[in-house]
Amino acid sequence: QESSNGWREVLKDLYSRGAKEVLLGVFDGLPGLDEAFRETYPKADVQHCIVHKVRSTFPKIRVEHKTDVINDLKTIYNAIDHDMALAAFDTVKDKWGKLYPKEMKSWENQLSTLLTFYKYPKEIKNAIYTSNAIERMNKEFRKRLKPMNSLTNMDAAEKVVYMQSIEYNDRYAERITPGFGMTEVKKELAEMFEERYPQAIG
């Protein structure tokens, strides 16, 4: 039952608990989430998950073209910079646009948010151009809940999720996401943060 109103409540709760300055939100296209996020964090960037976009495109491509199309799409998000990524998209669109006009138009419409990661240090690209991190956590939740068909009510399910969250947090509390521990990356992100939220510094 995802909707803008539902996500708005979640984000308002996060905001009220202290997450007031956000640089980037990474989403897989959940209904209503973009709208609610932009309302709560108007200064933040939005990155749509490349992996989810490729997955949603894949079933719509004919079997004989799948490998070529997927490899061509990789040239977009593996380009050395934003301008080259745009040029790569133009090449892909010219090649496949007549066969798959809806799919190419869909990529074109989302291109600005699919390529947001180019604004950030390249060292953290793998951490921010996909929402796979949260997907892994959700997979852990589903794995724990699946064998528990006898859960009596929502409170019991929430307790399972809560305990799994605690375990997950403990497991990753001391780990640094690749790239984020680098001095130059931290400096660049701090500069972006200060430019975006100068009132929050100091």
pLDDT, tens only, 60-75: 999 999 999 999 999 9
Q: What band does 44 get if pLDDT is binned at 50, 70 and 90?
A: very high
pLDDT confidence tier of residue 153, bands split at 50, 70 and 90:
confident
Which pLDDT band holds residue 196 (cuts at 50, 70, 90)? very high
Residue 30: beta bridge partners? none
Helix (H) or strand (E) holding 48: strand 45-48
In DSSP terms, which residues pair with 47 in a beta bridge? 26
Exposure of 195 by Cβ count < 10 A (0-12 exposed, 13-18 middle, 19+ buried)?
A: exposed
Number of residues that this document lists for the chain:
202
Q: In the predicted model, what is the mean pLDDT of residues 13-35?
A: 91
- Domains of the chain, by residue range, sit at 4-128, 132-188
- With cut-offs at 50, 70 and 90, classify the pLDDT of residue 22: very high
Which residue in 87, 92, 88 sits closest to 104, CA to CA? Answer: 92
- Cβ neighbours of residue 90 closer than 8 Å, sequence gap 6 or more: none
Count the neighbouring beta carbons within 10 Å of the beta carbon of residue 46. Answer: 17
Give pLDDT, residue 176.
86
Based on the number of CB atoms within 10 Å of its own CB, is 3 exposed (0-12), middle (13-18) or buried (19 or more)?
Answer: middle
pLDDT tens digit string along 84-128? 999 999 999 999 999 999 999 999 999 999 999 999 999 999 999
How many CA atoms lie less than 13 Å away from 153 in the CB half-sphere?
A: 1
Q: Which helix (H) or strand (E) is 126 found in, with range?
A: helix 125-128
Q: Give how far Cα 70 sits from Cα of 11, 33, 66, 67, 109, Å.
A: 34, 27, 6, 5, 18
Structure tokens belonging to residue 102: 């809806």
